[in-house]
Chains A and B, each alone.
Chain A
Amino acid sequence: MLQQYQVNGGYDEMLDARAGVRGHYQKFHKLFRSVSPGEFDAKRQAVDTAFLRQGITFNVYGDAAGAEKIFPFDLIPRIIPAKEWEHLERGLQQRIAALNLFLHDIYHEQKILKDGVIPEFYVLSARHFRREFVNFEVPKGIYIHICGTDLIRDKDGNYLVLEDNGRCPSGVSYVLENRRAMKRAFPGMFEGIGVRPVENYPQELLKTLQHIAPAGVADPTVVLLTPGVYNSAYFEHTYLARHMGIEIVEGRDLFVRDSRVFMRTTKGPQPVHVIYRRLDDDFLDPTVFRRDSLLGVPGLVHAYRAGNVSLANSIGTGIADDKVMYYFVPRMIKYYLDQEPILPNVPTYLASEEKDMKYIMEHLPELVVKAANESGGYGMLMGPKATKAEIEEFRAKIIAEPRNYIAQPMIFLSQHPTFCEGNFEGRHVDLRPFILSGERTTIIPGGLTRVALRKGSLVVNSSQGGGSKDTWVLYGDD
Chain B
Amino acid sequence: MRFDIHHSTRYAYTSPVRDSFNDVRLQPMPIPEQVVESFLLKVLPAARLTHFKDFYSNWVNHFEILEPHSYLVIEARSRVSTRPPAPLPAEEKLCPFARMGEATHVERCFDYLQSSRFVELSPEAWKMALDATYGQDDAWLAALALMKFVHGFLKYESNSTHVHTHMREVIADRRGVCQDFAHLMLGLCRVMKIPARYVSGYLATESASATHAWVEVYLPGHGWRGLDPTHNCQIGETYVKIGNGRDYGDVSPISGNYRGTQQRTMEVEVRITPVDV
Direct contact of A and B (CB under 8 A): yes
Q: Which residues of A contact B (CB under 8 A)?
A: 120-121, 124-125, 131-132, 134-135, 255-259, 286-287, 291, 298-299, 302, 305-306
CA distance A184 to B102 in the complex (A): 66
Q: A124-B110, A132-B55, A302-B62 are in contact. Are A259 and B257 (CB under 8 A)?
A: no
**Which of B19, B48, B114 has most chain A Cβ within 10 Å?**
B19
**Is B66 an interface residue when CB atoms closer than 8 A count as contact?**
yes
Contact B110 A256 (CB under 8 A): no
Contact A135 B53 (CB under 8 A): yes
- Distance (whole angstroms) from the CB of A116 to the closest CB of chain B: 9
| Subset of 18 A-B contacts with CB under 8 Å | A120-B104, A120-B110, A121-B110, A124-B111, A125-B110, A125-B114, A131-B54, A135-B53, A257-B66, A259-B50, A286-B257, A287-B21, A287-B23, A287-B257, A298-B19, A298-B21, A299-B21, A302-B50
Contact B54 A306 (CB under 8 A): no
**Is B256 an interface residue when CB atoms closer than 8 A count as contact?**
yes
- Distance (whole angstroms) from the CB of B250 to the closest CB of chain A: 9
**Is B52 an interface residue when CB atoms closer than 8 A count as contact?**
yes
- Distance (whole angstroms) from the CB of B190 to the closest CB of chain A: 14
**Is B138 an interface residue when CB atoms closer than 8 A count as contact?**
no
Nearest chain B residue, comparing its CB with the CB of A135: B53
Nearest chain B residue, comparing its CB with the CB of A286: B257
CA distance A291 to B114 in the complex (A): 23
CA distance A257 to B104 in the complex (A): 42
User: 9 other contacts beyond A121-B110, A256-B21, A257-B66, with CB at 8 A cut-off?
Assistant: A120-B110, A125-B114, A135-B53, A255-B66, A259-B64, A287-B257, A299-B64, A302-B21, A306-B50
- Distance (whole angstroms) from the CB of A55 to the closest CB of chain B: 35
Q: Which 8 A/B pairs are nearest by Cβ-Cβ distance?
A: A131-B55, A287-B21, A124-B110, A134-B55, A299-B21, A287-B257, A298-B21, A257-B66
Q: A287-B256, A302-B21 are in contact. Are A257 and B64 (CB under 8 A)?
A: yes
Which positions 61-79 of chain B face chain A at CB distance < 8 Å? 62, 64, 66
- Distance (whole angstroms) from the CB of A126 to the closest CB of chain B: 11
For residue B54, which residues in chain A have a CB less than 8 angstroms away from its CB?
131-132
Nearest chain B residue, comparing its CB with the CB of A107: B55
Contact A305 B52 (CB under 8 A): yes
Which positions 1-48 of chain B face chain A at CB distance < 8 Å? 19, 21, 23, 48
Contact B257 A291 (CB under 8 A): yes
Nearest chain A residue, comparing its CB with the CB of B110: A124
Q: A121-B110, A287-B256, A287-B257 are in contact. Are A258 and B48 (CB under 8 A)?
A: yes
Contact B48 A298 (CB under 8 A): no
- Distance (whole angstroms) from the CB of B211 to the closest CB of chain A: 22
Over the window 254-272 of chain B, the binary record of Cβ atoms lying under 8 Å from chain A Cβ atoms (1 yes, 0 no) is 0011000000000000000
Q: A124-B110, A287-B256, A291-B257 are in contact. Are A258 and B55 (CB under 8 A)?
A: no
Contact A256 B64 (CB under 8 A): yes
For residue B19, which residues in chain A have a CB less than 8 angstroms away from its CB?
255, 298
CA distance A257 to B53 in the complex (A): 21
CA distance A286 to B258 in the complex (A): 10
- Distance (whole angstroms) from the CB of B60 to the closest CB of chain A: 10
Q: Which residues of B contact A (CB under 8 A)?
A: 19, 21, 23, 48, 50, 52-55, 62, 64, 66, 104, 110-111, 114, 256-257
- Distance (whole angstroms) from the CB of A107 to the closest CB of chain B: 10
- Distance (whole angstroms) from the CB of B65 to the closest CB of chain A: 10
CA distance A110 to B46 in the complex (A): 39
CA distance A298 to B66 in the complex (A): 11
Nearest chain B residue, comparing its CB with the CB of A116: B105
- Distance (whole angstroms) from the CB of B46 to the closest CB of chain A: 13
For residue A132, which residues in chain B have a CB less than 8 angstroms away from its CB?
54-55
For residue B257, which residues in chain A have a CB less than 8 angstroms away from its CB?
286-287, 291, 298
For residue B23, which residues in chain A have a CB less than 8 angstroms away from its CB?
287
Contact B64 A258 (CB under 8 A): yes
CA distance A257 to B54 in the complex (A): 22
For residue A125, which residues in chain B have a CB less than 8 angstroms away from its CB?
110, 114
For residue B64, which residues in chain A have a CB less than 8 angstroms away from its CB?
256-259, 299, 302
CA distance A124 to B256 in the complex (A): 25
CA distance A222 to B194 in the complex (A): 49
CA distance A291 to B104 in the complex (A): 32
- Distance (whole angstroms) from the CB of B161 to the closest CB of chain A: 21
For residue B66, which residues in chain A have a CB less than 8 angstroms away from its CB?
255, 257
For residue A256, which residues in chain B have a CB less than 8 angstroms away from its CB?
21, 64
CA distance A434 to B92 in the complex (A): 62
For residue A259, which residues in chain B have a CB less than 8 angstroms away from its CB?
50, 64
- Distance (whole angstroms) from the CB of B116 to the closest CB of chain A: 11
- Distance (whole angstroms) from the CB of A244 to the closest CB of chain B: 30
CA distance A401 to B104 in the complex (A): 21
For residue B110, which residues in chain A have a CB less than 8 angstroms away from its CB?
120-121, 124-125
CA distance A302 to B110 in the complex (A): 27
CA distance A255 to B19 in the complex (A): 9
- Distance (whole angstroms) from the CB of B120 to the closest CB of chain A: 16
Nearest chain B residue, comparing its CB with the CB of A299: B21
For residue A131, which residues in chain B have a CB less than 8 angstroms away from its CB?
54-55
CA distance A259 to B64 in the complex (A): 8
Nearest chain B residue, comparing its CB with the CB of A124: B110
CA distance A291 to B64 in the complex (A): 16
For residue A287, which residues in chain B have a CB less than 8 angstroms away from its CB?
21, 23, 256-257
- Distance (whole angstroms) from the CB of B5 to the closest CB of chain A: 27
For residue B48, which residues in chain A have a CB less than 8 angstroms away from its CB?
258
For residue A305, which residues in chain B have a CB less than 8 angstroms away from its CB?
52
- Distance (whole angstroms) from the CB of B145 to the closest CB of chain A: 28
CA distance A131 to B53 in the complex (A): 12
CA distance A255 to B55 in the complex (A): 26
For residue B21, which residues in chain A have a CB less than 8 angstroms away from its CB?
256, 287, 298-299, 302
CA distance A257 to B19 in the complex (A): 9
CA distance A302 to B51 in the complex (A): 10
- Distance (whole angstroms) from the CB of B66 to the closest CB of chain A: 6
- Distance (whole angstroms) from the CB of A122 to the closest CB of chain B: 10
CA distance A451 to B103 in the complex (A): 50
Nearest chain A residue, comparing its CB with the CB of B47: A258
For residue A124, which residues in chain B have a CB less than 8 angstroms away from its CB?
110-111
Nearest chain A residue, comparing its CB with the CB of B258: A298
Nearest chain A residue, comparing its CB with the CB of B250: A131
CA distance A299 to B66 in the complex (A): 11
CA distance A167 to B105 in the complex (A): 30
For residue A302, which residues in chain B have a CB less than 8 angstroms away from its CB?
21, 50, 62, 64
- Distance (whole angstroms) from the CB of A349 to the closest CB of chain B: 23
- Distance (whole angstroms) from the CB of B43 to the closest CB of chain A: 14
CA distance A125 to B50 in the complex (A): 30
Nearest chain B residue, comparing its CB with the CB of A110: B107
- Distance (whole angstroms) from the CB of B82 to the closest CB of chain A: 28
- Distance (whole angstroms) from the CB of B103 to the closest CB of chain A: 12
**Which of B64, B104, B111 has most chain A Cβ within 10 Å?**
B64
